[in-house]
Amino acid sequence: MVDWKSPAEIVRDLKVLDKLLHGLFGLYIWEYATSMDFEWEFITRKRQFRWPMVFYFLGRYIQLFAMIASLVSLDSPSALPCQSLFRFILFCGFMSIVISSVNLAIRTIALWGNNKYIIAAVIFAASVQSALVIIITIDINGAWVPTIGCLVTGGESYMSALFIYTMCFNAAVFVLTIVKLAKIGTNANSKRLMTQSKLTTIIFADGLIFFIIALLADIVVIVFIALNLNPILKAMFQIPASIVSTIVACRSVRRLMNFSQGRPVAAFRLSTRNPSSNRNKTSRQSQTIQSPTSIRSSPEVHVQMETFTHIEDDFIKMDKSEFIADTDIKSDSQNIV
């Protein structure tokens, strides 16, 4: 039977961890480089910066810092201040997981029309996550071991709590998204709009993909923490979990932003008037795009979301008369990722 806590096994596991982290660093740098054009558009002001993008950039950069610090801890030939170094690594790595959850929660907030209860719940959940990260950062102990390097002990129970809590948070966000999309789908006026658009598919697919990937990564981490075979195996899958969560969350943000680039506030008008009225065919098939100030307060719904509005050709080509159809997504474009 393998003695997982023997020095020889720890050295062997450390070599595996070293190769794994170098491979993941290459993956993250590739992901980072291939998406730099998105950031460049903000630098050159081709895209307008909105406050939710703070979480997008923060997640990307603190994950990058965590990766660099992790490689330094593995590749350094001389003794390092392991306590401070690993506190920095764990804080950045775990906070990137928190920010990944927040990035997905922001679109759910927007989908629910900035509902104050949803906002309060997300803020509370993210605050508890952040508190767990801070507790873990304070609780861990690091020491330099000759021939092995930095070894970290402590914080196991809090780490398990963090990943279990993160799974529950992500599940709650995903369920809220499904509930709202289902509610929109049952709305008589909005059903045709939403089913003719890729928007529902994108929001649902991104949420589902993130939830499944994050769930699997978190389960692996929890299992190895519970087994407590040795300090290396206990920490081996924590960084991969934070990396995949960051990559998937950032891709979801970029995909939704690219989907709606340049779309104005729009209302879709189809009236119940008699089609035999003296309107020409063109006006009957027209799509009326109005500014927010020109949309009257009536049983209409308008989509005022720079991020979520997209119109499909099939919907535009409808040969019915005009009425204003809209979803009950009432979110301001400045509050959406």
Q: Which residues of the chain have pLDDT under 70?
A: 154-155, 184-199, 260-337
Q: Which are the contacts of 81, defined by CB distance < 8 A and separation ≥ 6?
A: none
Q: Residue ranges of the domains in the chain?
A: 7-259
- One of 3.40.640.10, 1.10.3720.10, 1.20.1070.10, 1.25.40.10 is the CATH number of 7-259, namely 1.20.1070.10
3-state secondary structure the chain: CCCCCCHHHHHHHHHHHHHHHHHHHHHHHHHHHHCHHHHHHHHCCCCCCCCCHHHHHHHHHHHHHHHHHHHHHHHCCCCCCHHHHHHHHHHHHHHHHHHHHHHHHHHHHHHCCCCHHHHHHHHHHHHHHHHHHHHHHHHCEEEEECCCEEEEECCHHHHHHHHHHHHHHHHHHHHHHHHHHHHHHCCCCCHHHHHCCCHHHHHHHHHHHHHHHHHHHHHHHHHHHHHCCCHHHHHHCHHHHHHHHHHHHHHHHHHHHHHCCCCCCECEEECCCCCCCCCCHHHHCCCCCCCHHHCCCCCCCCECCCCCCCCCHHHHCCCCCEEEECCCCCCCHHHCC
pLDDT of residue 234: 83
| Number of residues that make up the chain | 337
Asked if 123 and 189 touch (Cβ cutoff 8 Å), the reply is: no
pLDDT the model gives residue 199: 66
Looking at residue 179, what is its pLDDT?
86
Residues near 150 by Cβ (< 8 Å), separated by ≥ 6?
73, 80, 82, 85, 86, 142, 143, 144
8 A C-beta contact, residue 240 and residue 61: no
Provide the pLDDT for residue 211. Answer: 84
241-261 per-residue burial string, b: 16 or more CB within 10 A, e: under 16: bbbbbbbbbbebbbebbebbe
Tell me the DSSP string of 170-206. HHHHHHHHHHHHHHHHT-TTTHHHHHTSSHHHHHHHH
Which pLDDT score, from 0 to 100, does residue 261 have? 59
User: Which pair of tokens denotes residue 279?
Assistant: 């309107």
pLDDT at 237: 87
Tokens of 305: 């979301």
What pLDDT does residue 276 have? 41
